[in-house]
Amino acid sequence: MKFCDECGSMMHTEDGVWVCRSCGHEEARDLEAEASMTTTQGQEKSEIIDVSDAEDRGLPTTTVVCPECGNDTAYWYMQQIRSADESETRFLVCTECEHKWREDDH
């Protein structure tokens, strides 16, 4: 996305140039600069965290009761799974049975 240097409106591409539909200002396209722009498609992917080797990766532990086996220790990590203005979600993995669950802010 590019914004017009003259009026600040969003520009559109037409025949290899950027064109402002508000004021008519035109600029040549810089394909190299456009290739480095961040797209929303690249932001949609969420990282999957493999916790099978949690102890080897140095994940922190906390005292919490596992709902499956009753063990009182779990590894934890935080991950942003909702929009950026929402708080992160804490994921927990039992150190005994490796049951996974999450803790949301309410």
Residue 45 pLDDT level (bands cut at 50, 70, 90):
low
Per-residue pLDDT at 12: 85
Under 8 Å between Cβ of 26 and 9: no
Residue 10 pLDDT level (bands cut at 50, 70, 90):
confident
* Residue ranges per structural domain of the chain: 11-42, 54-103
Residue 51 pLDDT level (bands cut at 50, 70, 90):
low
- Distances in whole angstroms, Cα of residue 36 to Cα of each of 4, 56, 65: 19, 35, 46
Q: Is 97 annotated as a binding residue?
A: yes
One of 2.20.25.10, 1.10.3720.10, 3.40.250.10, 3.60.20.10 is the CATH number of 54-103, namely 2.20.25.10
Please indicate, yes or no, whether the overall pTM of this predicted structure exceeds 0.75: no
Residue 54 has pLDDT above 90, yes or no: no
Q: Is 23 annotated as a binding residue?
A: yes
Q: Is 69 annotated as a binding residue?
A: yes
